[in-house]
């Protein structure tokens, strides 16, 4: 028995990704099966002590506890010095793998997991009919994600943003194979994606099949057969929407090889902007007004950023999106003080843990609330989507509890006593509520303290970057909406 315990369920997509990596390199571990179908992630006492989020996979490596599969895989690749292609040491190649890993959470995963849950698991367990609204929304996300996987991440390379297989492929492929439980091939009508999936299977043989045994067995029993057949596509896209206030942003750090595309009303953009200002990283500011749909129409931007999301950078021809990947790239490129993203393997893994957790938790809770309660009704005159708001409020409540009870439990900042890019990411998500004059942590003293500490640490750049938010708040445009 080694020092590492791996908590997993082979029906969990990210667990399978970690398991394949461990098997492929004979990384020794003590297997700890956590059957999610039997609610063991909520009841198993040993697991609860290791993993505050109660999500698999998680590891306890001789006392070092870590969750979030991408953070775990990256940690294992570095710790065991696995071949470079799994997570390249080269700064730019690494950033492109990070780009996928961060993009994954709110796209491919957010498309697939709710479809499986609502179409298959929930009806089977409760006998209730599937939630068609959620299914349609997820199908739309999935369709868009598969399109981008093909046209961007696999456009010029055999594997994701690379000609060799990496942990990004592991993450993606294990998400897609979840459909196999119901005998469905989600890429059957997409030759490029089918080819890539076959290439991954070949590259990972025989471990791929070994780890997928439980999935094959469910498929062969036919338990979920026919339950994942596609339903009709419904568009819920907003067109021609205008935001009430137009952001204004002063940037004195002009003209450099680095172009930064941003909107100061965007949470992840503010995180990147603060990092640049606080460290005097020169950049050419490229304002993209989302409210004016410039992220869809600006020709320069659409050439730089395939996802058409801000922030994005073009650093002398090197194009990158996803704020966490951008921040990490800038910290390493400009050799910023270590605390922003520590070089120490375990400290770094704990920052990664937060950064990967953020997408489907704090962001997935906070962003839709602001959007559905304040922005959408303002832009369209339509009443807020109450179901969406209730779901997001639950996610936000749970996320704030974990931010308080886990990430800020023993440290001044997130998983660290010094401020890092994880704090930037988190704090800028929460300040979105300020547009409506609302403090989302008003009744939470520990979180309020941390927010104040971040503000102090980041002064005066914090206020400078939040100018647009303060202006909207002072105009009272969204007052009372949140």
Ligand X SMILES: N[C@@H](CCC(=O)N[C@@H](CS)C(=O)NCC(=O)O)C(=O)O
| Binding site residues, ligand X, CB under 6 A | 102, 106, 266-268, 290, 295, 308-311, 322-323, 359
Q: Which is nearer to ligand X, 266 or 348 (CB)?
A: 266
Which residues have a Cβ under 8 Å from the Cβ of 82 and sit 6 or more positions away?
21, 25, 76
Residue 279: exposure state from Cβ atoms within 10 A (0-12, 13-18, ≥19): middle
Q: Is the Cβ–Cβ distance between 160 and 169 less than 8 Å?
A: yes
To ligand X, the closest distance from the beta carbon of 310 in angstroms equals 4
Sign of the Cα torsion 160, 165, 168, 172 reads: positive
Sign of the Cα torsion 410, 412, 414, 415 reads: negative
To ligand X, the closest distance from the beta carbon of 186 in angstroms equals 22
Q: In a 3-state reduction of DSSP, which class is residue 127?
A: coil
Tell which residue, 80, 74, 82, 83, has the closest CA to residue 102.
Answer: 74
Q: Which is nearer to ligand X, 166 or 432 (CB)?
A: 432
In order, the DSSP letters of 65-113 are: EEE-HHHHHHHHHHHTT--GGGS-SSHHHHHHHHHHHHHHHTTHHHHHH
Q: Which is nearer to ligand X, 121 or 426 (CB)?
A: 426
Q: Which is nearer to ligand X, 57 or 268 (CB)?
A: 268
Q: Which is nearer to ligand X, 10 or 420 (CB)?
A: 420
To ligand X, the closest distance from the beta carbon of 437 in angstroms equals 20
To ligand X, the closest distance from the beta carbon of 296 in angstroms equals 7
To ligand X, the closest distance from the beta carbon of 266 in angstroms equals 3
Tell which residue, 233, 139, 222, has the closest CA to residue 184.
Answer: 222
- Which helix (H) or strand (E) segment holds residue 364: the answer is helix 364-370
Residue 38: how many other CB atoms lie within 10 Å: 11
In order, the DSSP letters of 154-222 are: TSSSSBTTBSS--HHHHHHHHHHGGGGGGT--TTTT-HHHHHHHHHHHHHTTTHHHHHTHHHHHHHHHT
Q: Which is nearer to ligand X, 20 or 305 (CB)?
A: 305
Q: Is the Cβ–Cβ distance between 447 and 403 less than 8 Å?
A: yes
Q: Which is nearer to ligand X, 307 or 471 (CB)?
A: 307
Q: Is the Cβ–Cβ distance between 348 and 76 less than 8 Å?
A: no
Rounded to an integer, what distance in angstroms lies between the CA atom of residue 444 and that of residue 73? Answer: 33
Q: Is the Cβ–Cβ distance between 57 and 14 less than 8 Å?
A: yes
To ligand X, the closest distance from the beta carbon of 177 in angstroms equals 24
Rounded to an integer, what distance in angstroms lies between the CA atom of residue 200 and that of residue 192? Answer: 12
Rounded to an integer, what distance in angstroms lies between the CA atom of residue 11 and that of residue 31? Answer: 15
To ligand X, the closest distance from the beta carbon of 265 in angstroms equals 7
Q: Which is nearer to ligand X, 21 or 288 (CB)?
A: 288
To ligand X, the closest distance from the beta carbon of 290 in angstroms equals 5
Rounded to an integer, what distance in angstroms lies between the CA atom of residue 63 and that of residue 80? Answer: 17
To ligand X, the closest distance from the beta carbon of 8 in angstroms equals 26
To ligand X, the closest distance from the beta carbon of 16 in angstroms equals 23
- Which helix (H) or strand (E) segment holds residue 286: the answer is strand 284-287
Q: Which is nearer to ligand X, 27 or 332 (CB)?
A: 332
Q: Which is nearer to ligand X, 13 or 267 (CB)?
A: 267
Rg (CA), the chain: 22
To ligand X, the closest distance from the beta carbon of 289 in angstroms equals 11
Q: Which is nearer to ligand X, 32 or 104 (CB)?
A: 104
Q: Which two tokens stand for residue 29?
A: 């571990």
To ligand X, the closest distance from the beta carbon of 111 in angstroms equals 14
Q: Which is nearer to ligand X, 310 or 438 (CB)?
A: 310
């Amino acid at each position: 028995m080694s020092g590492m315990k791996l908590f997993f369920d082979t029906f969990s997509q990210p667990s399978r990704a970690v398991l394949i990596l461990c098997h492929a390199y004979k990384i020794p571990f003590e297997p700890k099966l956590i059957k999610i179908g039997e609610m063991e992630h909520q009841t198993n006492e040993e697991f609860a002590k290791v993993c505050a989020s109660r999500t698999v996979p998680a590891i306890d490596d001789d006392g070092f506890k870590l969750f979030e599969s991408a953070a775990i895989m990256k940690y294992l690749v570095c710790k065991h010095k696995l071949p470079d292609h799994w997570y390249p040491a080269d700064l730019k190649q690494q950033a492109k793998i990070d780009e996928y890993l961060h993009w994954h959470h709110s796209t491919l995963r957010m498309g697939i997991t709710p479809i499986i849950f609502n179409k298959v698991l929930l009806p089977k367990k409760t006998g209730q009919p599937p939630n068609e609204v959620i299914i349609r929304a997820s199908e739309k996300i999935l369709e868009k994600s598969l399109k981008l996987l093909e046209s961007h991440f696999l456009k010029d390379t055999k594997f994701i943003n690379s000609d060799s297989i990496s942990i990004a492929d592991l993450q993606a492929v294990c998400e897609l194979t979840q459909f196999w439980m119901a005998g469905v091939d989600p890429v059957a009508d997409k030759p490029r994606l089918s080819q890539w999936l076959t290439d991954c299977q070949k590259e990972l043989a025989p471990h791929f099949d070994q780890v997928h045994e439980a999935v094959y067995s469910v498929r062969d029993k036919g338990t979920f057969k026919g339950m994942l057949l596609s339903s009709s596509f419904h568009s819920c896209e907003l067109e021609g929407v205008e935001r009430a206030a137009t952001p204004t942003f002063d940037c004195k750090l002009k003209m450099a090889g680095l172009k930064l595309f941003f909107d100061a009303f965007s949470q992840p953009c503010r995180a990147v902007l603060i990092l640049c200002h606080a460290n005097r990283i020169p950049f050419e500011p490229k304002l993209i007004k989302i409210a004016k749909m410039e992220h869809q129409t600006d020709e320069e931007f659409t050439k730089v950023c395939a996802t058409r999301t801000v922030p994005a950078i073009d650093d002398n021809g090197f194009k990158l999106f996803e704020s966490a990947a951008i921040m990490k790239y800038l910290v390493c490129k400009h050799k910023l003080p270590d605390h922003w993203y520590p070089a120490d393997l375990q400290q770094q893994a704990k920052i990664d843990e937060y950064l990967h957790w953020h997408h489907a938790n704090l962001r997935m809770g906070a962003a839709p609330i602001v959007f559905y309660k304040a922005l959408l009704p303002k832009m369209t005159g339509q009443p807020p989507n109450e179901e969406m708001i209730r779901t997001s409020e639950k996610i936000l409540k749970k996320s704030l509890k974990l931010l308080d009870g886990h990430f800020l439990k023993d440290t001044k900042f997130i998983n660290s006593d010094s401020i890092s890019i994880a704090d930037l990411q988190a704090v800028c998500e929460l300040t979105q509520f300020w547009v409506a004059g609302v403090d989302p942590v008003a009744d939470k003293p520990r979180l309020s303290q941390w927010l104040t500490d971040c503000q102090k640490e980041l002064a005066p750049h914090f206020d400078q970057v939040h100018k647009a938010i303060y202006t909207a708040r002072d105009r009272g445009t969204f007052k009372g909406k949140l």
